Amino acid sequence: MSDKLKNVLIGLFALMGITVIVGVTLFLQPSVGDGKKTLNVRFSNVSGISSGTRVTLAGKPIGEVFRITKVEDARKHKTDEFGRLYFYELKLKVDSSVDVYDTDVIAIQTTGLMGEKSIG
């Protein structure tokens, strides 16, 4: 087999591999819910969180962060029962079938091998 033919076959094999990886990434991406329910949550630190960050419930994706806004004059607002101040408000769009109660704890989590952040 000539070197030119080997190079062409290696190139085709690499191209097929890249195509498969892109296809799996685009078409097998899990659904993140219908986004019909909106939740407003506040945090004091949102490092690693941006619009589009995934929201999970028991490890299952149910939505995403829609908007992050800085709370104006946060130090003038009342603290919670533990004395914490909240400097950022996140608007989350989640699946309408998800029930969220006042007693539920919503926290920033680190997930995955690369240390991605999510809200759960």
Q: Do 5 and 51 sit in the same domain of this protein? A: no
Q: Do 68 and 90 sit in the same domain of this protein? A: yes
Q: In whole angstroms, what is the distance from residue 79 CA to residue 36 CA?
A: 30
pTM of the predicted structure, to 2 decimals: 0.66
Q: Does the structure show a pLDDT above 70 at 28?
A: no
User: In one letter, which amino acid is 6?
Assistant: K
Q: What are phi and psi of 94, to 5 degrees?
A: -125, 170
Q: Do 17 and 46 sit in the same domain of this protein? A: no
Q: Do 78 and 53 sit in the same domain of this protein? A: yes
According to the model, what pLDDT value does residue 47 have? Answer: 87
Q: Does the structure show a pLDDT above 80 at 78?
A: no
Nearest C-alpha neighbor of 42 from the set 77, 14, 15, 12: 77
pLDDT, average across residues 57-65 = 87
Distance of CA 30 to the CA centre of its chain: 12
According to the model, what pLDDT value does residue 33 have? Answer: 64
Q: Do 51 and 109 sit in the same domain of this protein? A: yes
According to the model, what pLDDT value does residue 100 have? Answer: 85
Q: Do 95 and 66 sit in the same domain of this protein? A: yes
Q: How many CA atoms lie within 13 A of 117 on its CB side?
A: 13
Q: Do 49 and 79 sit in the same domain of this protein? A: yes
Q: Does the structure show a pLDDT above 70 at 30?
A: no
Tally of domains within the chain? 2
Task: List the domain range (segments joined by +) for residue 90.
Answer: 37-119
Q: Do 5 and 46 sit in the same domain of this protein? A: no
According to the model, what pLDDT value does residue 91 have? Answer: 94
Q: Does the structure show a pLDDT above 80 at 74?
A: no
Q: Do 51 and 1 sit in the same domain of this protein? A: no
